[in-house]
Amino acid sequence: MPPDLWALDLLRPQIKEMVQYKWELTEVLNQSSATASPIRDSDWDRMRFYSSRITHLALSHCPCSLSRILPSLSAALPETLFPNVQILAWPSGRDGEELPHIRMFLRPTLTSLSFGALSHSAAPVLAILPTKCPRITTLYATAVDMHDLLTGIATSLSCNSLTHIGIGSRYSTHVILHRDLQLLKPFSNLTDFHIGSPLGFDLDDDAVLDLVRTWPQLRSCSFEAISPTHTPRTTLRCLYYFAQHCRHLHILAIPFDATTVPSFVLPPGLDGQHPLVHIDVEQSPVTDTAIAVAQFLSAVLPRLREITTRREYDNNNKDDLEDDLEDDGVEALLPAAVHME
């Protein structure tokens, strides 16, 4: 049987692989099942066989609470289940009471983990990853307390092996500060870094410089400000710092103030070489002339051909549409964009 058929997103099909007489249907509409007799170790044999084929495991939502099911399941769940799982997704929408049970599915083969800590601290999960999952390179996590999450990552995970970090918070009550992000400076091998904050970020150009010069391998980077409460203090100059220190960067998303165009001198070896092709300026204010902004962008990022903005998704606001026309005006003047037409 092809392994792809077992890349399932539910535990139920796996558990049902035990001999069928062990199960009886209790609710037809909700397809609820109950064990018809006690589970013996030998009853797991078939599930052991098929679970070894699974490399990607994602837990989806179910009508029942896993916080009641998983403790019972863990009493009989063999440690040999899912021995080859490499990617584990634990959706952030789950009841926080279920998070501690994620350790049931952590294996030494795991390289990518995504989870949410909406009512529990993420620290206990992060603390066991070095011993449970020594090969992990990719982490995606959401939490209520962003500082707790960043501290847990910095104190628990290997600075040398982690290459992908994606973090966010849906209910944060404060903006992300420079000192918060400084916790991740030791992760010098980062190739992908994405962080989302409901209230945005309080960073200036010097803060960006301090961060990006420690992440020279970045290929994709985004600072997503969902509903920012203030005008960004970063300016067009922060793009210069990205170009100078992140020579492999292809995709960037960051809000900045583009109302003035700074003077600059290209560093040696940068002219015409930087690979960045796409930038999301989010809700960045642009009041300078399109030609001046385009000249700066084309000089610092000569291959840039696409500019997107958060405002272009709000078609009900006339002012936003006018701003989009300004953004389009800048993009149309980029040499790389002209050559693409």
CATH code, domain carrying 281: 3.80.10.10
Give the chain's residues under pLDDT 50.
1-9, 21, 28-29, 316, 318-326, 328, 337-341
Per the structure, how many domains does the chain have?
1
Tens of pLDDT, residues 251-286: 999 999 888 888 877 766 666 678 999 999 888 877
Residue 284: the pLDDT is: 81
Alpha-carbon distance 208 to 80, whole Å? Answer: 45
State the pairing for strand pair 138-143/164-168: parallel
Q: CB-side exposure of 310: number of CA atoms within 13 Å?
A: 16
Residue 237 and residue 262 in contact, taking contact as beta carbons nearer than 8 Å: yes
Cut 0.85: pTM above it: no
Largest CA distance in the chain: 76
Residue 203 and residue 180 in contact, taking contact as beta carbons nearer than 8 Å: no
Residue 215: the pLDDT is: 98
Residue 51 lies in a domain: no
Residue 94 and residue 62 in contact, taking contact as beta carbons nearer than 8 Å: no
Residue 272: the pLDDT is: 64
Residue 52 lies in a domain: no
Residue 189: the pLDDT is: 96
Residue 94: the pLDDT is: 54
Alpha-carbon distance 242 to 95, whole Å? Answer: 39
Alpha-carbon distances, residue 232 vs 182, 246, 286 (angstroms) = 19, 21, 12
Alpha-carbon distance 276 to 55, whole Å? Answer: 33
Q: What is the CA radius of gyration of the chain?
A: 24
Q: What range defines the domain where residue 310 resides?
A: 61-340
Residue 322: the pLDDT is: 38
Residue 25 lies in a domain: no
Residue 167: the pLDDT is: 94
Residue 53 lies in a domain: no
Residue 230: the pLDDT is: 81
Kindly state the tokens that stand for 314. 């709000």
Residue 116 lies in a domain: yes
Residue 282, φ and ψ in degrees, nearest 5: 55, -120
Residue 146 lies in a domain: yes
Residue 263 and residue 287 in contact, taking contact as beta carbons nearer than 8 Å: no
Residue 294 lies in a domain: yes
> b/e per residue, 233-260, with b = 16+ CB within 10 A?
bbbbbbbbbbbbbbbebebbbbbbbbee
Residue 227: the pLDDT is: 81
Residue 221, φ and ψ in degrees, nearest 5: -150, 135
Residue 67 and residue 95 in contact, taking contact as beta carbons nearer than 8 Å: yes
Kindly state the tokens that stand for 258. 């583009």
